[in-house]
Amino acid sequence: MASIRQLHQQLISKERSAVEIAQEALNRIQQLEPKVHSFLCTTSEQALEQARQVDAKIAAGEEIGLLAGIPIGIKDNLCTKGIATTCASHILENFVPPYESTVTQKLKDAEAVMVGKTNLDEFAMGSSTESSAYQVTCNPWDLSRVPGGSSGGSAAAVAARECPVALGSDTGGSIRQPASFCGVIGMKPTYGLVSRYGLVAFASSLDQIGPIATNVEDAAILLGAIAGHDPSDATSLKVDIPDYTKLLQPELKPKSIKIGVIKETFGEGIDPVVVEKVRQAIEQLQNLGAEVQEISCPRFRYGLPTYYIIAPSEASANLARYDGVRYGKRVADADNILSMYTKTRAAGFGAEVKRRIMLGTYALSAGYYDAYYLKAQKVRTLIKQDFENAFEKVDVLVSPTAPTTAFKAGEKTQDPLSMYLGDLMTIPVNLAGLPGINVPCGYDDQGLPIGMQLIGNVLREDQLFQVAYAYEQSTPWHLSKPPL
Ligand code: GLN
């Protein structure tokens, strides 16, 4: 699939119709899904109808926006009116939302064409998309490996060119880590930049929705379309949204950008080949005109334990609403209300979700609240301070996105701790509410993609896109595709 701008050009020059473009995506999905399994459902009829409307506009000589007629995949934890939204959980298997999330409404208004809902770890809890209750998504670069998670369906769909762009959500790395494993761009915006209205809540103080794309410009276009204040989300920021694409230049102005390399993220536990490729990428940034220095974020390493108190605590509260009364599944064989609750939840939630609910309920219970939850919130502030100190010296921070390349399916499912360790470098960014982007920066010796993470100061998505774009344009990584 071509880029958004190329597809837009094809549409306005009448070289191809929006229906032809939608059909190409739907055909590719049909052809590849038996191998990749990135979609939980496709929405062909609605997609073709939306595409016909775009074609009618073009035929009538009306102007269309950049996203009009562009196929897009939507992570299945975003509510879509009249279309099942399962969160890859049995507890929501029959749930058809009566309302539309703000981001998907914005995409509808921009006349983007949703082709389907993508797979995820159940309720976005996981790093491999293996905890989906419905199917395991495969990494398009090596089908025996995981695509990462939890937005693994979206990342795999984009990497496999089933659709040019997709939306994911990121609570502790769920956009950036799968983007890294699948060799695509994935951005988690500043907390509050994108409305969470209609995003099924996992950990509300950390969740953000963001774009996944094959190139930086497409991600910038998509973020521009979904960002902005929304009165329906109390944490939504009232800020002007710049045209992120305007700043994209193939070179950085000499000495205009200071980059800090987070010292602590190149040590123990990080695969040597990942370290090597990210270091080479940093050299390239230097060649492009960036000033590079080493930065220490000493409390970065407390991110993981802090997150695994805060996120499950918020999750245990958010998931209390799935009680068999208001949403989705309800077991038939309960003889009183309490047994209906417990049997429904026992049958509806998978093992990982239950583990998080138990962890969170424990951390929030009387006597443990101060020892765990409150302590974690304090450490969260310290981690944020590390970033604030760093951003007094530099504009953008760099680290690897994940400690390894994509691992084999099944390799970590029996060992949750080793799965959690993979989020080491993405989690602190969510705890501090900052924007972060994954940019592909090479391959390991088995041909699996490696990603570099760029972290920006609050609301400096523009700088991240600028650095990512200059790097991308000066390297060949975005030109290669998985061998499918
Ligand atoms: N992998 C992390 C977790 O399991 C992050 C998930 C996410 O960002 N949604 O919680």
- Alpha helices per DSSP H over 183-247: 216-226
pLDDT band at 253, cuts 50/70/90? confident
Q: What are the pLDDT digits (tens) for 32-87?
A: 999 999 999 999 999 999 999 999 999 999 999 999 999 999 999 999 999 999 99
Residue nearest to atom 4 of ligand 1 (CA): 126
The 10 Å Cβ neighbour count of residue 448 is: 21
pLDDT tens digits for range 143-195: 999 999 999 999 999 999 999 999 999 999 999 999 999 999 999 999 999 99
Distance CA 224, CA 219 (A): 9
Average pLDDT, the chain: 97
pLDDT of 233 reads 98
Which helix (H) or strand (E) segment holds residue 278: the answer is helix 272-287
At 326, the pLDDT band (50, 70, 90 cuts) reads confident
Question: What is the percent of the chain where pLDDT is above 90?
Answer: 95
Q: Which of 89, 118, 125, 314 to mutate to test the pocket of ligand 1 (most atoms within 8 A of CB)?
A: 125
What is the edge-to-edge ordering of all strands in the sheet holding 436-443?
A: 39-42, 113-118, 71-75, 165-170, 208-213, 185-188, 436-443, 449-456, 396-400, 258-262, 291-295
Mean pLDDT, rounded, for 93-98: 94
pLDDT of residue 89 exceeding 80: yes
Overall pTM > 0.85: yes
Q: Residue whose CA is closest, atom 5 of ligand 1?
A: 172
Residue type, 319: L
- Say how many Å lie between the CA of residue 122 and the centre of ligand 1: 10
CA of 5 to the centre of ligand 1 (A): 32
Q: Is 426 in the pocket of ligand 1 (CB under 6 A)?
A: no
How far, in Å, CA of 179 to CA of 151, rounded?
8
430 lines ligand 1 (CB under 6 A): no
Q: What share of the chain is helix, strand, coil (3-state, %, to 5)?
A: 45, 15, 40
Question: With a 6 A CB cut-off, is 127 part of the ligand 1 pocket?
Answer: yes
How many residues are given for the chain? 484
Mean pLDDT throughout 236-245? Answer: 97
Q: Is 124 in the pocket of ligand 1 (CB under 6 A)?
A: yes
pLDDT higher than 80, residue 445:
yes
Q: Is 122 in the pocket of ligand 1 (CB under 6 A)?
A: no
What is the topology classification, in CATH, of domain 4-254+436-479?
Amidase signature (AS) enzymes (3.90.1300)
- Say yes or no: CB of residue 171 within 6 Å of ligand 1: yes
Atom of ligand 1 at shortest range from CA of 126 = 4
CB neighbours (10 Å) of residue 82? 11
CA of 308 to the centre of ligand 1 (A): 10
CB contact set of 482 (below 8 Å; sequence gap of 6+): 140, 141, 159, 160, 182, 183
**Nearest ligand 1 atom, CA 177:** 1
123 CA from centroid of ligand 1 (Å): 9
- Ranges of each domain in the chain: 4-254+436-479
Q: What is the pLDDT of residue 201?
A: 98
Interval 115-141: pLDDT, tens: 999 999 999 999 999 999 999 999 999
Annotated active-site positions, please? Answer: 75, 150, 174
Between the CA of 173 and the centroid of ligand 1 the distance, in Å, is 6
How many Å lie between the centroid of ligand 1 and the Cα of residue 274?
21
Q: Is the CB of 168 under 6 A from ligand 1?
A: no
150 lines ligand 1 (CB under 6 A): yes
Pocket lining: 173 vs ligand 1, CB cutoff 6 Å: yes
Taking residues 22-27, report their average pLDDT: 98
Residue 219: strand, helix, or coil: helix
Label residue 268 by pLDDT band (50, 70, 90): confident
| Band of residue 254 on the pLDDT scale cut at 50, 70, 90 | confident
Atom of ligand 1 nearest to the CA of 124: 9
For residues 273-302, give the mean pLDDT.
97
Higher pLDDT among residues 1 and 260, named by residue: 260
Q: Pull the structure tokens for residue 464.
A: 């991240």
Rounded distance, CA 410 to CA 421, Å?
16
Q: How far is the CA of 126 from the centre of ligand 1 (A)?
A: 5
